[in-house]
Structure 1
Amino acid sequence: MYFNKIVRFSGYHYGKKIRLFSNLLLIILGNCFWLLSGKLAGASEIIDISDREVLLRELSTELKQISEVEKSQRLLRRTSDETPRRRKTLKDSLRVAQGNARQDTTEPTLTVGKNNTAEDSNYLYSDLEISTDSESETSNSLKQVTNVDRLRDVSPGDWAYEALRSLVDRYGCIAGFPNQTYSGSQPLSRYEFAAGLNSCLNQIERLIASSEAVQREDLDTIKRLNAEFATELATVTERVDSLENRTAFLEDNQFSTTTKLIGSVWLNLTGAAADGDVLVETNDLSVPLFLRPPGRDPVTGEPTVLEVTDNPEITLSDLVWLTFETSFTGEDVLTTRLVVGNGDSPANVFASAGTYNTFGIPFTDQTAGLQGEGNSEIVIQDLSYNFPVGDNFRIVIGPQINWYAYFDNNAYTYFLTGASSFNSIGSSLSNAIDRGSGAVVMWDISEKLKLNIAYLGESTEFLPSPPFNTASNPDEGVFGGTNTSTAELTFSPTDTVNTRLMYNYSHLNADVNVVGGVIGGVTGEPLQNGLADAGAGRGLDVNPNDGGLKDSFSHTIGFNFDWEIAPKFGIFARYTYASITLKPIDRTVNVQSIQAGLAFPDVGKEGALGTFSFLIPFDVTNGEEFLVSGAGDGGTQYEFELTYFYPVNDNIALVPAFYLVSNPNNFDENPNIYVGNLRMQFNF
């Protein structure tokens, strides 16, 4: 085996200084021992190397590293599994060389096969640097190697000097530098030394190709040199052992803390219009849209219904996300997201009480702070820490974890590139907590099967506290207030098919923001598209300020999938069913949502995506008598959405979208609502 690399780490001082001649000798011994090593104990006059092809491939690999010789520090970043292999190679070379030197043989001759060429066997010793005497014993850097004429420890008259020069002259172990001069009075730089080694090794290749023989006197010389410098050879082995330990330490600790900024900016031009007057369930149209209160007729007990007669004006809004991702080990991520926006989308004008930011609303046409106020308030939307546990688990903990980053995903409804409205980017029945305090556990069971589990207490940036954001309220905390538990199993049988089965359990406190004693609304999934009270005779018809409920418990089951049937065609779908138990009346409301769509990747341009989505966001199957908002006249609202994501370049995209909403607010007699949105998107 050929002599391996001896490498210097700048910044480290080795206590023993190796005499300059001894170190250079190690280079020559490495070449010569490799050339001479074989089964010398045999009786044959000529020994063949049978594994020539394998050896030549190894040597060729070494030659490709010559360009890195000037960068010895790069060795510190090489994979940890490479160092033991190299150490073993070096030890094997020394052991074979020493063993060969001690054998007492009868005038052997070593002949190498005749079919090798320089092109077949490029090899070298790279990244090589050996210490010399320095002015200070405590120097942190090693001097450059010098050439043969400057070997101060061995005089020209010494036998070792003459033996070394004889080997060099006979076998061309050092054949000179690229300019064909030896530069005997000049020190060698790493570049020159590497070039010299390359010349030497090229010369050895020519010897191999021409089947040159090695005679006994040279074997005797190598034996004597080995015995004379056995201490130095042992020192080299010790240095390699130390090198392995130092390399492993530096590889484990080389990562520096880094923070990456991911920015997204959206500009939204949005308009909405209806074919006629739109019926909405509320008892006051004069208040801000987000604060529209529900009510019941004190005589009939039926929900209060008013009409919206005017179409809203076109709006231009913005939304900015600045996400800072910090890693401390290279495998973990601390996420901090700052958000500011001023959106209040026009279609909210047509929404019943509690259904703000549901149908006909582009997801990025929203505010960042308290909903409905339309002011530019900077808030923290996501603050979480993601880290690995073993090979197959990751855990996310934090006071504001984004639930949608880990659940109910779909390749064609991701809001940045796919379907774009609030109702279509995810199930309209999950989750009651957009952001929450708690933890998420992600388990990669296999390549095709993954399981995510989460528990979150309410901590949402756009809700007032109190009564919301109970996780930070000492009176309720993470476990006593509104909270959800979620489990989702993802099965991906192929690269083009993903299926997800989700279960969600929610405990919701009654809303006391607008009126007390009601459950649901935009933060009340699975009653996102409605509000529930205790019903006629016990609800808002009896007390307009208290709907009679204290809290609720719900069970939600969802299924969603995406399938890329062909390179430019895919399908997607969602189905969600939920059962909500109202407390303290112990009555149940059951609802479902349905979505199905087509996707057209790369339509018009590579990276583009067109989607067509049909959905029923909120279909009441049982308990509509407890809905003070959202049940309408028993009709079923359905929506059609067409979105086209067009990337102008890697950082800018234009996204036009059109929504058609039929039977809005679940009133059969309501006219259609039309929504148009043009989004300009910047990512950096």
Structure 2
Amino acid sequence: MSKVWFAQVQRSVLGAIAFSTLATLPNPSAAQSLPPTKDVIGQNVTSVSQLSDVRPTDWAFTALQSLVERYGCIAGYPDRTFRGKQATSRYEFAAGLNACLDKINEIISAGLADKVSKTDLATLQKLQEEFAAELATLRGRVDTLEAKTTKLEAQQFSTTTKLDGQVIVSASASGSGSDSLLNPIGNASGLSGKANTTVISRVRLNLNTSFTGEDLLLTRLEAGNGGTNLSNSLNDAGGVFRGFTGFKNSSVFDYSEAGTTFTLGRLRYDFPIGKDIRASLGAVMSLNDHLDHNSFANDESVDFSSRLFINNPLILPVNDGAGGAIAWNIGGSAFTLRAGYVAATANQATNDGTINRGLFGDPYQGTVELEFAPKNSENDSPLALRLQYTRASVNNLDYNTGGLNLEWAFNKAIAVFGRYGFGNISNRGSAIANALPTYINAGVTSDAISPQTWSAGFAFPDLFKEGAMGAIAIGQPFIESKVGNATQTNVELFYRFPISSNISITPDLQFIFNPNNNSSNSTITVGTLRTVFTF
């Protein structure tokens, strides 16, 4: 076939075929690559006037109009453009030709062969001969894809459930100038001030089930290597002071201490109530999935490792248990009201003589949060302010605490964030030193303490690479003059570098001054290299 004839055929019949059929086709070769998938997913058109960049004065207008009206085998790009001047490869041309052949075969099969002109049939016959190899390749690939699709549909895990997962593996080295850490009144706490290099891991498997497309049943299985690490703050005193520095325990890493056998990490059902309200009920849930969010300090897999910077310890003293949560975006405005409740021992019906258990027993927590997050022209919320209040009970100590959570992205390259917590923890009329004898300074006879906590930092999204982030933060987990002779201060900085869309590496460095609110304790330094895999 001569180049002149080929050019004439392009100009008269198929010179500007769109590439809508190419999105599902694999690259035939590196030398003849197709446009990106997001650019080639086209939309069928019923009139040439629907293509914004095709005008009646264009030389291809009549040919396009004929193909659309007679055969309906023309499509445009998602933005309703045709891009007729864009160059095409032989494989792309063959894909467009194949689309027209299929349409004409449908017309003939319907007994409407007289609607197809002999001139067009002759042209198509010549084009079929010229592009026989390309058409055979494309049809073979389509058949293979159809076979694979059929096999996947037959063998898929579930029509309603999708599986995703996350693996965290970190190597850490830490130490301080003293061999043991002291508790706030100066007695050895039993915690080593020096630690060997460790490797800590955690695996999470999430089964995400949706029955309506708008709901979610989350079932999470979780396991690790049982790793532990150097404590960075007040000991948990048998669970009494869990809320002072974080949840579960007061370790340096939020992802440490997952056991070697799989446990049920989440079991909850999220569902909409009307247009602006979403609710969640769960037998195993965590309130920090619903409250105290922060775009730059909220997730141990992508930002900070220590619990002080992930959530406000005074706002979420219990956090885990059975309960529910609700979020109401008030009239689609910038205001969202959230509330949540959990009981950590909801599965225990008995009273052990000192603490009342069950769904409404100790330890429990109820929290409300009002968020103000106006959207900009790009539908983002660069500024968010959250006001919080918590009422809780932990080992017969009553918590009444308030909090503030702020984030502000000045631009796409820098943001500031922070949290502040304050309130009252009381022992119901008895001296609080009776409940916490190893933590309250001698001579304190009051029945309550009034702790504060704060953290603040800067984040740098897309630092040096799209998807990366660097950040630095400083904070004090527990400020109370009646506890210890100093105030513990934490500093943490990290840089998350994405290797791919599924793998990231994060060097992390922490400094802990006056550990356990005791000035006699030497500064702790912790260096970590964290690798995260998602699938």
**Given the alignment of the two structures, is residue 603 of structure 1 paired with residue 463 of structure 2, yes or no?**
yes
Distance 2:514 2:114 in 1: 83
Residue 654 of structure 1 pairs with residue 505 of structure 2: yes
Aligned equivalent of 2:336? 450
For 1:428 and 1:642, the matched residues in 2 are separated by 19
CA contact (8 A) 2:230 2:251 kept: yes
Q: Name 1:28's counterpart in structure 2.
A: none
| Cα drift, residue 379 of structure 1 | 0.8
Aligned partners of 1:567, 1:558: CA distance in 2, in Å?
A: 27
CA deviations on 1:584-614 (whole Å, 9 max, x unpaired) are 4282211111111011111121101111001
SS in 2 for 1:276: coil
C-alpha separation in 2, matches of 1:472 and 1:196? 77
Contact 2:283–2:321 under 8 Å retained in 1: yes
| 1:632 alignment counterpart | 484
Pairwise CA distance, 1:671: 1.5
Matches within 5 A, 1:178-217: 189=106, 192-193=109-110, 199=116
Match of 2:265 in 1: 381
Query: Structure 1, residues 360-413: CA drift from partner, whole Å, max 9, x if none?
Result: 71222x122xxxxxx412110110001111111111112112211111111111
Write the deviation string for residues 306-329 of structure 1: whole angstroms up to 9, x where unpaired: 576751211112110111100111
Give the counterpart of 1:582 among 421, 427, 436. 427
Runs of 4+ displaced beyond 6 Å: 63-67, 124-127
Matched, 1:644 2:491: no
Is residue 483 of structure 2 the alignment partner of residue 593 of structure 1? no
State the shift of 1:553 in Å. 2.1
3-state DSSP of counterpart to 1:641? strand
Do the aligned partners of 1:340 and 1:367 also contact (CA within 8 Å) in 2?
no
Letter of the structure 2 residue corresponding to residue 407 of structure 1 = L
State whether residues 360 and 675 of structure 1, in contact with CA within 8 Å, keep that contact through their aligned partners in structure 2: no
| One of 464, 470, 473 as aligned partner of 1:613 | 473
- Count of aligned positions: 384
Corresponding residue number in structure 2 for 1:491: 372
Query: Are positions 1:264 and 2:166 aligned together?
Result: yes
> Aligned-pair distance for 1:568?
1.4
- Give the residue type in structure 1 aligned to 2:471: T
Q: TM-score, normalised by structure 2?
A: 0.64
Map residues 37-76 of structure 1 onto 2, 5 A cutoff.
none
- Higher strand proportion, which one? 2
Check whether the contact 2:208–2:219 (CA below 8 A) recurs between aligned residues. Answer: yes
Residues 125-151 of structure 1 deviation map (CA, whole Å, 9 limit, x = unaligned): 979xxxxxxxxxxxxxxxxxxxxxxxx
- Among candidates 303, 318, 322, match of residue 201 of structure 2: 318
The amino acid across from 2:318 in the alignment is I
Question: Does the residue aligned with 1:424 lie in a helix, a strand or coil?
Answer: helix
Contact between 1:281 and 1:303, CA under 8 Å: does it hold in 2? yes
Distance (whole Å) between structure 2 residues aligned to residue 198 and residue 457 of structure 1: 73
**Structure 1-normalised TM-score?**
0.51
8 Å Cα contact 1:471-1:479 kept in structure 2: no
Amino acid in the other structure paired with 1:603: L
CA RMSD of aligned residues (A): 3.6
Q: 1:484-504 deviations in whole A, cap 9, x for unaligned?
A: 111112211232423233433
Report the alpha carbon displacement of residue 418 of structure 1 after superposing the two structures with TM. Answer: 1.7
Matches within 5 A, 1:292-307: 304-305=187-188
Gaps of 5+ in 1: 1-62, 68-114, 128-177, 183-187, 204-255, 283-301, 369-374, 459-468, 511-550, 625-630
Q: Does 1:675 align with 2:507?
A: no
User: 1:332, 1:349 → 2: CA distance?
Assistant: 39
Rg larger for: 1
* Kept in 2: contact 1:360–1:661 (CA 8 A): no
**Quick check: 1:497–1:561 contact (8 Å CA) kept in 2?**
no
Name the SS for the 2:410 alignment partner. Answer: strand
- In 2: Cα distance, 1:197 partner to 1:599 partner: 68
Helix, strand or coil for the counterpart of 1:477?
A: coil
Aligned-pair distance for 1:279? 4.0
Query: In 2 relative to 1, CA 195–637 (structure 1 residues): closer, same or farther, beyond 3 Å?
Result: farther
* Letter matched to residue 488 of structure 1: E
How far off is 1:653 after superposition?
0.9
Counterpart amino acid of 1:399?
A: A
SS of the aligned residue for 1:665 comes to helix
Distance in 2 of aligned mates of 1:572 and 1:387: 30
Aligned runs of 1:408-447 on 2, under 5 Å?
408-413=292-297, 414-445=299-330, 446-447=332-333
Kindly indicate whether residue 254 of structure 2 is the aligned counterpart of residue 363 of structure 1. yes
Q: Give the secondary structure class of the aligned counterpart of 1:376.
A: coil
**Structure 1 residues 602 and 309: alpha-carbon distance in aligned structure 2, compared to 1, 3 A threshold:** closer
Separation (CA, whole Å) in 2 of partners of 1:433 and 1:117: 71
Q: In structure 2, which of residues 190, 195, 217 is the aligned counterpart of residue 334 of structure 1?
A: 217
Superposed CA deviations along residues 91-123 of structure 1, whole A, max 9, x for unmatched, are xxxxxxxxxxxxxxxxxxxxxxxx995656844
Tell me whether 1:500 sits opposite 2:385 in the alignment. Answer: yes
Q: Residues 574 and 595 of structure 1 are in contact (CA less than 8 Å); yes or no, is this contact kept in structure 2?
A: yes
From 393, 405, 412, the equivalent of 2:277 is 393
TM superposition shift of 1:473: 2.8
Offset at residue 66 of structure 1 (A): 11
Q: Which amino acid aligns with 2:280?
A: V
8 Å CA contact 2:295, 2:407 repeated in 1: yes
Sort the Cα spacing of 1:123 and 1:653 in 2 relative to 1 into closer, same or farther, 3 A. Answer: same
* Corresponding residue for residue 403 of structure 2: 558
